[in-house]
Amino acid sequence: MIRAIIFDFGRVISAQKPSSLFRSYEDELGLEPGTINFIMFDSEAWQEALVGRKTVEEFWYEIGPELGLNSVDEVDAFRHRYHADEAINEGVTDLILRLHGNYKLAVLSNSPPVLSQWLSDWKLLNFFEVVFCSGDEGIAKPDPNAFELTLERLGVEPDEAVFIDDTREHVEAAQKLGLQGILFTTAEELEKELARLLRKDF
């Protein structure tokens, strides 16, 4: 029987930014089209931030010059704009509200150590019994320890949990440990998949 639902954060609870927004960033910064995500998230600085070896601030100040931002003020201005453009996936948060109280809920995310603040700012933190942030723990998906620690803190066995993520590698890692896995695409498809696994509408 399913007792727990575990959500990824980025591009699941938080909405996927439209490609037009990334193009606007690239136009503003004078970058080649389709390069900003590669520069930011394929960087060594980002990988270090994900396991807590750099703060968010250190990440931005290190990556700034590669984005064409050559002063602290320029980095801060773009960083604040980038964060202000983050938005909740309303369809997913509606599901969270409906699941709360009937299932144990958790977040398991590869994120720098600011995740709980994001959830608090969005008035979602209190809906989750466990928040596993790679930047706080020093362990990132798909490391099995990330899943095992989350399950341990929830007090459930692998076959009692569903894991939702938009990255196939992470879903497959969870499934290898015995969790039910859902590859996230849209809130509508997620609701259908959850209804199938939970064997009821909600």
Q: Looking at the chain, list the stretches that DSSP marks H as alpha helix, in order from N- to C-terminal side.
A: 19-29, 36-41, 44-50, 56-63, 72-84, 90-99, 115-121, 134-137, 144-154, 168-176, 187-198
Q: What is the pLDDT of residue 199?
A: 87
Residue 11: which domain range?
A: 4-15+88-198
Under the banding of pLDDT at 50, 70 and 90, the label for residue 202 is: low
Domain boundary among 84, 118, 139: 84
Q: What is the mean pLDDT of residues 103-110?
A: 98
Domain boundary among 66, 84, 102: 84
Q: What is the pLDDT of residue 152?
A: 98
Residues 162, 182: Cα–Cα separation, whole Å: 7
Same domain, 71 and 112: no
When divided into structural domains, the chain yields a total of 2
Q: What is the mean pLDDT of residues 117-136?
A: 97
pLDDT surpasses 90 at 200? no
Same domain, 142 and 193: yes
User: In the predicted model, what is the mean pLDDT of the chain?
Assistant: 96
Same domain, 95 and 165: yes
Residues 53, 62: Cα–Cα separation, whole Å: 13
